[in-house]
Structure 1
Amino acid sequence: MGNHVVCFRRKAKPKPKLKRSSSTRSVPGSKERASFRKDSAQQQALAYALQQQQQQNGHARYDLSFERSSSTRNNPLGMPKGLPRSASARPRSSNDPLLQPVQLLNQDVKLPADLETKHFVLVHGGGFGAWCWYKTMALLEDTGFKATAIDLTGSGIDSTDPNKVTSLSEYVKPLTEFCEKIGKDEKVILVGHDFGGVCISYAMECFPSKVAKAIFISAAMITNQQRTFDIFAKEVMESDSLLRKAQIFIYANGSENPPTAIELDKELLREMLFNHSPSKDVALASVSMRPIPFAPFLEKLSLTEKNYGSVRRFFIETSDDQAITPSVQENLIKLNPPEQVYRVKGSDHSPFFSKPQALHKLLLEIAQIGPNQ
């Protein structure tokens, strides 16, 4: 069962030492050799993933030709013109890290009495935990909503070794167990960030009648029979990609076997995930982030129109995202169009840190959207 708490209030536990048969970290005095070993490990892991894709499919089913421009003003990817957009343009304030402005933001908010649900379920991305939602939870609760943050298996304060997670169903088990306990006449709004998008898609397929809306925040919004790895294949294969540089593959079962997890280089965290986030939140992340189980990234997800397709989907773009870049986000939207697209301007990959009030405003707006006529 997952833990539904905000773990930043608790004292961080020492991370368990992971057995590594093959290390990709630098060796003092041997920079060239370390660089070669890291590249070799990455190539091995990527080759394995691509091999699995070829064996399962025989050919690519998805368009991975991401355009490099981050501009969306001229609709470069040919998105359906009828797809509405909304954007938050609030300039960044030095007070963003503080929670005192919450009262000013929420004091005039009056929620409709006929809301379909007031319960948000927040699902973190790869390497994150329930702790990353602490600002969002405070804002939602002060507005009159209920907010539950889930720790997925091997994440946050869940004690499972990420290297032991071998399937997507195992990874999302805390979320599915939570959804199983939702009352028959109750519904929730699922919010997924990053890899959490795949996790809420899994829950949408399993529990469509319990999900009022699904919100993808710079998240993997995949299609039927697609893998998360497919989304990032092109970016990861590029030698100068920040995503590739930040990855450290862990081989808990020995270097002759596939990787078991991915760790992110702490020296590149700010540049890739938190380029606009307050220093205190970057510090929180640096001591709280954990390795990401690798196997779920390679697993195809079966999604049906009857279940997954019946849930209303919304996508929130992050305009200055260095992890899931704007071009990748646009491609996700093009291949699997949601009901509506929003944007948090000036946000990095983690708007819950860099633009919490702007993100909160969009969550409120989506929650108040009435049923389709």
Structure 2
Amino acid sequence: MSNTISCYLQLLESLEKIKFKKIVLLHGEGFGAWCWYKTIAQLEEVGLQPTALDLTGSGIDLTDTNTVTTLAEYSKPLIKYLENLPVDEKVILVGHSSGGACLSYALEHFPEKISKAIFLCATMVSNGQRPFDVFAEELGSAERFMKESQFLIYGNGKDKPPTGFMFEKQLMKALYFNQSPTKDVALAMVSMRSTPLGPIMEELSLTPEKYGTGRRFYVQTLEDRALSPDVQEKLVRENPPEGVFKIKGSDHCPFFSRPQSLHKILIEIVQIP
């Protein structure tokens, strides 16, 4: 039997013994469950049970983005999913980019339902921080962004505070997809939606008794222009997780640019006892 096949069979066997096989994938700003299509296929192939959720006002969820004002509201599909889990079930959560805020929120409110939390080039904030603050180096301070950005959307009229934002396509390509295949970039360009502003401007309240007991892992992307490797390094330093993994040659969307490397890391984290 070839070495590759025997390694694959060994992997299947070791994953078979794992108690919690459910993996919930949370997208970042502008994305939806659709962005995980490669990851879902790869995880299913090795016998795991991935579920990708559309957060409120994202993907094919019909809620108007401009009406989503809080992190609790934005995270509702995840909260519902966790509330409906059987008592003895736990899941592994994976959050991409600003989806990391929903991950932290879930860790604070449902620590007993989450076996591991994986922050994928994500906003892993500390207590009292806003998800937006993480992007401040790239986008400027929140205050300045709210006043001056040309990407803001005023869903309630120009005289009211902005309700969302969306980068224009060329900037999005440069920020997010500098290493991604053109087909995936084309998929993103027709699928991305605006992002509600309220949830990423909200300060998170995270306690040592709840959030602090969670098992957190961070996956860094080393060719990332949306959340630079330096910023990711700083997040890990200020709020140390249990393990840190790095994906070489990956832009801000490893599920497109380095799906195989991402898959390997997810499998490695799943297997950590």
The question of a shared fold, defined as TM-score above 0.5 by the shorter chain, is answered with yes
Tell me whether 1:295 sits opposite 2:198 in the alignment: yes
Cα shift at 1:232: 2.0
Tell me whether 1:277 sits opposite 2:180 in the alignment: yes
Cα distance 1:104–1:285, how it changes in 2: closer, same or farther (>3 A)?
farther
CA distance in 1: counterparts of 2:7 and 2:36, whole angstroms: 18
Cα shift at 1:314: 0.3
Q: Which residue of 2 aligns with 1:253?
A: 156
Whether the aligned pair in 1 keeps the contact of 2:131 and 2:202 (CA below 8 Å) is yes
Secondary structure of the 1:139 match is helix
Is the deviation greater in 224-233 or in 161-170? 224-233
CA distance in 1: counterparts of 2:104 and 2:19, whole angstroms: 20
Secondary structure of the 1:316 match is strand
Whether the aligned pair in 2 keeps the contact of 1:246 and 1:265 (CA below 8 Å) is no
Tell me whether 1:235 sits opposite 2:130 in the alignment: no
Q: Which residue of 1 aligns with 2:145?
A: none
Name the amino acid aligned to 1:110. L
Q: Which residue of 1 aligns with 2:144?
A: none
Whether the aligned pair in 2 keeps the contact of 1:324 and 1:349 (CA below 8 Å) is yes
Name the amino acid aligned to 2:56. T
Name the amino acid aligned to 1:352. F
CA distance in 2: counterparts of 1:225 and 1:111, whole angstroms: 43
Name the amino acid aligned to 1:211. I
CA distance in 2: counterparts of 1:195 and 1:106, whole angstroms: 33
Q: Which residue of 1 aligns with 2:168?
A: 265
Alignment of structure 1 residues 320-335 onto 2, 5 Å: 320-335=223-238
Name the amino acid aligned to 1:292. T
CA distance in 1: counterparts of 2:118 and 2:270, whole angstroms: 10
Cα distance 1:281–1:104, how it changes in 2: closer, same or farther (>3 A)?
farther
Secondary structure of the 1:191 match is strand
Q: Which residue of 1 aligns with 2:70?
A: 167
1:83-117 Cα offsets, whole Å, 9 max, x none, are xxxxxxxxxxxxxxxxxxxx999555234254231
Cα shift at 1:233: 2.3
Cα distance 1:216–1:328, how it changes in 2: closer, same or farther (>3 A)?
same
Name the amino acid aligned to 1:226. Q
Name the amino acid aligned to 1:299. E
Is the deviation greater in 247-256 or in 286-295? 247-256
Q: Which residue of 1 aligns with 2:103?
A: 200
Alignment of structure 1 residues 175-186 onto 2, 5 Å: 175-186=78-89
Secondary structure of the 2:23 match is strand
**Structure showing the higher helix proportion among its residues:** 2
Secondary structure of the 2:116 match is strand
Cα distance 1:106–1:133, how it changes in 2: closer, same or farther (>3 A)?
farther
Q: Which residue of 1 aligns with 2:18?
A: 115
Q: Which residue of 1 aligns with 2:247?
A: 344
Cα distance 1:157–1:105, how it changes in 2: closer, same or farther (>3 A)?
farther
Secondary structure of the 1:264 match is coil
Secondary structure of the 1:110 match is helix
Name the amino acid aligned to 1:228. P
Secondary structure of the 1:192 match is strand
1:263-286 Cα offsets, whole Å, 9 max, x none, are 111122221111111111000000
Whether the aligned pair in 1 keeps the contact of 2:23 and 2:91 (CA below 8 Å) is yes
Tell me whether 1:137 sits opposite 2:51 in the alignment: no
Question: Which one has a bigger Cα radius of gyration?
Answer: 1
Cα distance 1:181–1:359, how it changes in 2: closer, same or farther (>3 A)?
same
Alignment of structure 1 residues 21-100 onto 2, 5 Å: none
Tell me whether 1:221 sits opposite 2:138 in the alignment: no
1:287-325 Cα offsets, whole Å, 9 max, x none, are 000000001111111111111111100000000001011
Unmatched segments (≥5 aa) in structure 2: 142-147
CA distance in 2: counterparts of 1:120 and 1:235, whole angstroms: 31
Whether the aligned pair in 2 keeps the contact of 1:246 and 1:264 (CA below 8 Å) is no
Q: Which residue of 2 aligns with 1:317?
A: 220
1:51-93 Cα offsets, whole Å, 9 max, x none, are xxxxxxxxxxxxxxxxxxxxxxxxxxxxxxxxxxxxxxxxxxx
Whether the aligned pair in 1 keeps the contact of 2:218 and 2:245 (CA below 8 Å) is yes
CA distance in 1: counterparts of 2:19 and 2:207, whole angstroms: 24
Secondary structure of the 1:275 match is coil
Report how many aligned residue pairs link the two structures: 262
Secondary structure of the 2:42 match is helix
Name the amino acid aligned to 2:158. S
Unmatched segments (≥5 aa) in structure 1: 1-102, 239-244
Cα distance 1:310–1:111, how it changes in 2: closer, same or farther (>3 A)?
farther
Whether the aligned pair in 1 keeps the contact of 2:27 and 2:96 (CA below 8 Å) is yes
Secondary structure of the 1:341 match is strand
CA distance in 1: counterparts of 2:192 and 2:44, whole angstroms: 25
2:27 pairs with one of 119, 124, 140: 124
CA distance in 2: counterparts of 1:273 and 1:232, whole angstroms: 13
Structure with more contact order per residue of length (Cα contacts < 8 Å, sep ≥ 6): 1
